C-alpha cells in the first residue's frame, strides 16, 4: 500500500497515506506517500508497533571509515563505495530467502540503511506519528502501528443515545478492493470486506480473520489455508475456497487491479507462482492457487518468503463472492464493474453497503449475520471533507465522533497523556474551542518523511552538506508542531531488522550531528567538492504541494545560503512530481513512505541502485527516483 501522508486533504488527492495536508491527492496505500498539507484531519494516522527484531547490530562506523587525506572524517566521499554496498546487500537479500538466513538478510538490510545514509541519497528527517481524538461518549479500541485504516468499527461503541458512528474521511473514487491504493478507500473497504488474515485495529500482530489456520510445507513453498466455515457474505451466501481463489485472481488478472505486484513480486510481495504471456500479462488462471475442497485452499510461492502472510492482509486481497464481477476470464459477472466500485458491496465485513455519494458521504449499516463480533452501532457514516477549516468546524459542532485536529488548530500544550505498554501515549486533549475535553491517542507510525536527491544531478558532497545542515528536531518543532519523531534512518525503529538495540547502535553511529545544524562540516565538505560562496552549487528542490514541506525546504535553503549551495524552491502537484521522478527530471524532492505491512523489504526494494534507474521507469523499475545506478563502480566516471 502506499500511503500518502496527507494532512487531511488533497491530493489526492487520493491514495493511502499518512496525511499531512489535504486535498485529494493520490497517494497509495502501498508505501507511497504524498504528504499533503493539512494534517490528518480525519482522525487517521498510522502507528508504529513494537519491534520484532532479534538481534545484534552490526554497524561499522562511519561509512566505510576510510578517512580522506585532508582529514575529513565524515562518510567516504567516494560514491561508488556506498552504491556498490547497497547493490550487493540487496542481491544478498534476494539470494538468501531461506528462513534460517534471517540474520544474513537483517545484516544486509542494515547495510542498505548505512549506504543510504553515508552516500546521503535520501535525507530522512521524520518518522510519523498519528494522533486521534474522540469525544468521551465514544468507546473505540486503540489502534496500532499500521494505522486506523485497518480498524473495523464493530467494537466501537457509543455511550450516548446515538446509534450511528460519525467519522470524517478524505475523497476516494471507488470501493473496489483491488483498486485500493489509498488510505481513504481502504478505511471504508475495511468495514465492508475482509482479507483472510488481518491486523486487528492496525496493531501489527497477524490475526486469522477468515481462516482457522494454515500449514506451510517443509520446503516453505506451499501454504495450505483452512477456511472458517459458516462465514456469510452480505447476501447470505457462504464463503468458500472458490470465492477466495476468484478474489485473488482478480488481483493479478483484472485490468482494474492496481496492486498485482503485491501478489507477483518477491520479496516485496507474495511472490506467487504464475505464468506470463509475451506481453507480460498474467496468463488467465495460471496463478498457483488451488481449491482442494470448499474450505481448503493452497497457494504456491516461488521461493520462501517470511512476509507472505503479512502481505495477504492488504486490502486488495479481500474476499468477494465468486463471479460477482466479470473482469477475469471465465466469468460473466453479476454486476458491472462500474456498479461494483461505486454503488454496491458484497463482502464478509461487519457493515454492509448503504449509500456512497462521491466526494460527499459514505454510509454502511450493521451486518447482523457477521461471523465475528456483531457491531454495536447500527451504522457508520463518513462525511467526506477535504478542507481543514471545514473539518475543524465539523469537529467543534460535535458532528464527528472520532477525528483529527488540523495543525493550525493544534496546541501541544493541551495534551495530557501517559505511555501505555505499546509505547503509545493515551490521555486527554483540551479544552477545545467548544470547551470540551476529548480523549487522545498518539501512536508512532510506520512511516517516514524525506528529501531525496537524484544522484545523476547532485554530487555526494552537496548531499552530505544537506545532511550536516539538517536539524531533525527543529523541523519537527517548527514545521510539524511537534507531531513527529526525529529520523536517522529510512526504516522506522518499530520494524528495525536488528531490533531496538540494533537501531540504537545505528543512531549512535549517525555521522552528521543528529538534531544539530553543523554548518562548519557542511562548508568543509562543499569545499572538497569545489563549491564555495562565490561558486555555489545550484539546485532546485521540488516539493509536493504542502506548506509544511515548503517551509522545511525554506529552512534548509536559508541555512545553507552562503555556504556553497544556492537553492531554489518549487512546488508541484503530486502526480506531476511522480511523473518527473519517472523522467529523472528532479534534483532534490520531497516525498514520504508508509508501510502497509510489517516488512523491511517493502521499502528497501526501492533502494536497490539498479532499480532506481529512472530510464526504466515506469516500465521495469519501481525504485525511488534516485538514479543511484550512476554511482555503481561499473558505471561511475569522475567528471
Partner 1 sequence: MSRWRYFLKRVALSVPVLFSVMTFLFIMLRLGPLSPVAARLGQNASGADVTRLREQLGLNDPLWQQYIDYVRDLMLFQGESWVVRAGQPIPEAIASVVPVTLWLGLWAIMLPLFIGIPLGFYAGLRPNTAGDYVASVSGILWLSMPNFWLAVMALAILRQADSGLFNWYTLGPNTQSIIGNPDFGFLTTTQLLGVIPVPTSFDVMAFATDIKLILPAALILGSASMAAELRIGRTAVLETVNSNYVEMAKAKGLKGRTIVWKHIFRNALVPLIPIITNEAFILIGGSVIIEYVFNLNGIGRLYFDALVQGDLPLAGSLVFLFTLVIIFLNIVQDLLYTIIDPRVSYQQ
Residue 24 makes contact with partner 1 by CB under 8 A: yes
User: How far, CA to CA in Å, does 251 sit from each of 38, 146, 262?
Assistant: 32, 22, 9
Which of 20, 34, 121, 123: binder of partner 1 (CB under 8 A)?
34
Q: How far apart are CA 448 and CA 590, in angstroms?
A: 11
> What single-letter DSSP state applies at residue 52?
-
Closest approach, Cβ 20 to partner 1, in A, equals: 15
Residue 541 makes contact with partner 1 by CB under 8 A: no
Closest approach, Cβ 141 to partner 1, in A, equals: 27
Which of 136, 235, 389, 535: binder of partner 1 (CB under 8 A)?
389
Closest approach, Cβ 47 to partner 1, in A, equals: 20
Closest approach, Cβ 488 to partner 1, in A, equals: 22
Closest approach, Cβ 614 to partner 1, in A, equals: 12
Which of 335, 390, 425, 481: binder of partner 1 (CB under 8 A)?
390
Q: Contact letters (x/-) for partner 1, 589-628, by CB under 8 A?
A: --x-x----------------------xxxxxxx------
Residue 257 makes contact with partner 1 by CB under 8 A: yes
Residue 161 makes contact with partner 1 by CB under 8 A: no
Q: Contact letters (x/-) for partner 1, 457-496, by CB under 8 A?
A: ----------------------------------------
Residue 280 makes contact with partner 1 by CB under 8 A: yes
Q: Among residues 122, 123, 85, 64, which one has the least CA distance to residue 632?
A: 85
- Identify whether the C-beta of residue 417 lies closer than 8 Å to the C-beta of residue 132: no
Q: Is the peptide bond before 431 cis (omega within 30 degrees of 0)?
A: yes
Residue 37 makes contact with partner 1 by CB under 8 A: no
Radius of gyration of the chain (CA): 24
Burial class (CB in 10 A: 0-12, 13-18, 19+), 541: buried
* Bridge-based pairing state of the strands 122-134 and 484-486: antiparallel
The stretch among 344-352, 512-520, 576-584, 628-636 that binds partner 1 (CB under 8 A) is 576-584
Q: Phi then psi for 54, rounded to 5 degrees? A: -140, 35
Residue 316 makes contact with partner 1 by CB under 8 A: no
Residue 258 makes contact with partner 1 by CB under 8 A: yes
Closest approach, Cβ 155 to partner 1, in A, equals: 26
Residue 103 makes contact with partner 1 by CB under 8 A: no
- Identify whether the C-beta of residue 344 lies closer than 8 Å to the C-beta of residue 287: no
Q: Among residues 278, 276, 267, which one has the least CA distance to residue 302?
A: 267
Q: Which helix (H) or strand (E) is 576 found in, with range?
A: helix 574-583
Beta carbons within 10 angstroms of residue 336's beta carbon: 12
Which of 228, 302, 342, 422: binder of partner 1 (CB under 8 A)?
342
Q: Helical H runs in 397-536?
A: 460-469, 472-479, 499-508, 519-528
Residue 31 makes contact with partner 1 by CB under 8 A: yes
Q: Report the site for partner 1 in 399-438 (rule: CB under 8 A).
A: 399, 433-435
Amino acid at each position: 500500500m502506499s500511503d500518502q501522508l496527507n494532512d487531511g486533504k488533497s491530493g489526492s488527492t487520493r491514495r493511502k497515506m499518512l496525511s499531512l495536508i489535504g486535498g485529494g491527492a493520490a497517494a497509495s496505500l502501498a508505501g507511497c506517500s504524498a504528504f499533503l498539507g493539512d494534517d490528518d484531519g480525519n482522525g487517521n494516522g498510522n502507528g508504529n508497533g513494537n519491534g520484532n527484531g532479534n538481534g545484534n547490530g552490526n554497524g561499522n562506523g562511519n561509512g566505510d571509515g576510510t578517512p580522506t587525506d585532508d582529514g575529513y572524517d565524515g562518510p567516504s566521499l567516494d560514491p561508488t563505495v556506498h552504491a556498490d554496498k547497497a547493490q550487493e546487500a540487496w542481491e544478498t537479500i534476494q539470494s538468501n530467502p531461506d528462513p534460517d538466513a534471517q540474520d544474513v538478510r537483517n545484516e544486509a538490510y542494515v547495510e542498505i540503511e548505512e549506504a543510504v545514509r553515508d552516500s546521503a541519497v535520501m535525507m530522512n528527517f521524520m518518522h510519523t506519528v498519528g494522533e486521534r481524538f474522540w469525544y468521551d461518549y465514544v468507546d473505540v479500541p486503540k489502534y496500532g502501528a499500521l494505522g486506523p485504516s485497518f480498524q473495523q468499527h464493530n467494537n466501537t461503541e457509543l455511550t450516548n443515545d446515538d446509534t450511528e458512528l460519525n467519522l470524517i474521511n478524505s475523497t476516494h473514487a471507488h470501493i473496489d478492493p483491488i483498486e485500493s491504493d489509498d488510505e481513504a478507500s481502504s478505511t471504508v473497504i475495511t468495514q465492508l470486506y475482509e482479507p483472510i488474515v488481518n491486523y486487528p485495529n492496525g496493531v501489527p500482530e497477524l490475526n486469522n480473520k477468515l481462516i482457522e489456520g494454515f500449514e506451510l510445507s517443509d520446503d516453505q513453498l506451499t501454504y495450505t489455508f483452512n477456511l472458517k466455515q459458516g462465514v456469510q457474505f452480505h447476501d447470505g451466501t457462504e464463503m468458500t475456497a472458490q470465492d477466495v481463489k476468484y478474489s485473488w485472481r482478480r488481483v493479478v488478472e483484472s485490468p482494474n487491479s492496481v496492486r498485482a505486484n503485491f501478489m507477483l513480486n518477491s520479496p516485496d510481495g507474495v511472490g506467487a507462482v504464475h505464468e506470463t504471456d509475451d506481453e507480460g500479462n498474467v496468463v488467465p488462471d495460471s496463478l498457483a492457487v488451488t481449491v482442494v475442497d470448499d474450505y481448503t485452499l493452497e497457494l504456491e510461492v516461488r521461493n520462501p518468503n517470511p512476509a507472505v502472510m503479512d502481505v495477504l492482509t492488504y486490502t486488495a486481497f479481500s474476499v468477494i463472492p465468486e463471479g460477482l464481477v466479470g473482469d477475469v476470464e471465465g466469468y460473466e459477472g453479476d454486476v458491472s464493474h462500474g456498479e461494483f466500485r461505486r454503488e454496491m458491496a458484497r463482502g464478509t465485513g461487519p457493515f454492509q453497503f448503504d449509500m456512497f455519494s462521491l466526494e460527499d458521504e459514505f454510509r454502511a449499516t450493521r451486518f447482523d449475520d457477521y461471523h465475528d463480533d456483531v457491531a454495536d452501532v447500527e451504522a457508520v457514516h463518513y462525511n467526506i471533507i477535504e478542507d481543514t477549516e471545514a473539518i475543524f468546524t465539523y469537529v467543534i459542532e460535535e458532528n464527528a465522533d472520532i477525528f483529527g485536529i488540523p495543525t493550525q488548530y493544534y496546541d501541544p500544550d493541551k495534551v495530557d497523556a501517559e505511555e501505555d505498554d505499546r509505547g503509545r501515549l493515551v490521555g486527554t486533549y483540551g479544552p477545545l474551542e467548544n470547551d470540551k475535553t476529548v480523549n487522545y491517542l498518539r501512536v508512532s507510525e510506520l512511516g517516514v518523511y524525506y528529501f531525496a536527491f537524484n544522484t545523476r544531478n547532485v554530487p555526494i558532497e552537496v548531499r552530505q552538506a544537506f545532511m550536516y545542515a539538517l536539524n531533525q528536531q527543529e523541523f519537527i518543532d517548527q514545521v510539524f508542531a511537534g507531531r513527529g519523531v526525529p529520523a536517522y534512518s529510512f526504516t522506522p525503529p518499530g520494524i528495525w531488522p536488528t531490533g531496538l538495540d540494533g537501531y540504537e547502535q545505528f543512531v549512535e553511529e549517525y555521522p552528521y550531528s543528529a538534531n544539530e545544524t553543523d554548518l562548519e562540516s557542511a562548508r568543509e565538505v562543499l569545499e572538497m567538492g569545489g563549491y564555495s560562496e562565490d561558486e555555489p552549487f545550484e539546485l532546485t528542490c521540488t516539493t509536493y504541494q504542502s506548506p509544511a514541506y515548503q517551509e522545511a525546504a525554506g529552512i534548509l535553503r536559508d541555512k545553507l545560503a552562503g555556504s556553497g549551495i544556492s537553492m531554489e524552491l518549487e512546488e508541484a502537484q503530486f502526480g506531476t512530481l511522480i511523473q518527473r521522478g519517472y523522467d529523472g527530471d528532479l534534483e532534490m524532492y520531497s516525498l514520504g513512505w508508509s508501510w502497509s505491512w510489517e516488512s523491511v523489504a517493502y521499502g528497501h526494494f526501492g533502494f536497490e541502485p539498479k532499480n532506481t534507474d529512472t530510464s526504466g521507469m515506469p516500465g521495469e523499475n519501481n525504485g525511488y527516483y534516485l538514479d543511484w545506478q550512476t554511482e555503481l563502480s561499473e558505471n561511475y566516471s569522475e567528471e
